[in-house]
Structures are given as C-alpha cells and as structure tokens.
Homo-oligomer: A and B are copies of this chain.
C-alpha cells in the first residue's frame, strides 16, 4: 500500500479551514503529537531518505518506518507502522540496538476527511503552519492531490517536500 501525500506551507490556517468546511470536509479530531526520530546504526537515513519514528499521542504509541520518497513533487513513500505499549522500554531497545535519537518534533494536528483524502492541519512547534493531504492507494496518482490542494487555495509553489525533521535540522544546524 502506498501513502500518497503532499505537504504545503500555509500562511492563513483559518482560511483553509473555512474552505474545507465549504467543500463539505468533516472534522475528525484534534490531537497533540510528539515524534522522536531515530537514525540507523549502519546507514544515514538523511542520505537514504528513510525515517524511523516513535510517535506519542496521549497514551497511544506508534512505531513507523518510512521508505525513500518516490517522486520529485509529493511525499509519497512506502510506510509501515504498528501500535505498541511501553514507550520507555521501546526507546531503550532502540538505544541498545544503537539507533541514535536525532530530534523531537511536537505539533498540534487537526484531521479532516473529504472524499478519499485525509487532511491534516498542523501547527508545528518552531516551524509554523502546514497542511498535509494524504490518500492511501494501490496505484500512484499524485496529480489528484495537487489539484485538490489548488482547490483549497494552496499554490504549487508552497509545496514542501522536506519532512518536519529535515526542516528542524535545517533550522538548528
């Protein structure tokens, strides 16, 4: 399964929200996410364009692997994830296996649903406001997402292929 996904920087989050509601999008939930990113003991994920992430949402924990991006425009990549309990134990296991903690990213995220899209409106600590649009699909069709973003008033020039992790690292290093 592919996760076809695009992200864009947004100057006016409220305007996007109004547009979403106007188009009939359904508000799903708001949550605070804390993500810890790790680097691999034997290769550099910054070069291989992969990611390993522990995510904390309240008392729910997820471990996610993301493969390299598949095109030049969107953030589409292979993704695998499982839910787990025992955050500190899991972190300790990653430490013992010599995965290195790279950065922690905190954000407020609101989810909306429209047609087959899941839309996330993010306020990222230290980085600002973003929109992410995602669609799970067997086949690769990024054009749909780009044209949906345009409908919301997001120009192709605002697209941001870099992950929050890359943006944070670019800012602080």
> Interface on A for B, CB 8 Å cutoff?
40-42, 50, 52, 63, 65, 67, 78, 80-86, 89-90, 92-93, 96-98
Partner of A40, one of B78, B84, B97: B97
Given contacts A65-B96, A96-B67, are A85 and B86 in contact (CB under 8 A)?
A: no
Most chain B CB atoms below 10 A, which of A81, A83, A96, A97: A97
Q: Are A80 and B89 in contact (CB under 8 A)?
A: yes
Partner of A82, one of B78, B80, B86, B96: B86
Q: Roughly how many angstroms separate A2 CA and B89 CA in the complex, as a whole number?
A: 14
Q: Roughly how many angstroms separate A92 CA and B89 CA in the complex, as a whole number?
A: 20
- Chain B residue numbers with a CB within 8 Å of A67 are 96
Q: Are B86 and A83 in contact (CB under 8 A)?
A: yes
Q: Are A81 and B89 in contact (CB under 8 A)?
A: yes
- Chain B residue numbers with a CB within 8 Å of A97 are 40, 52, 65
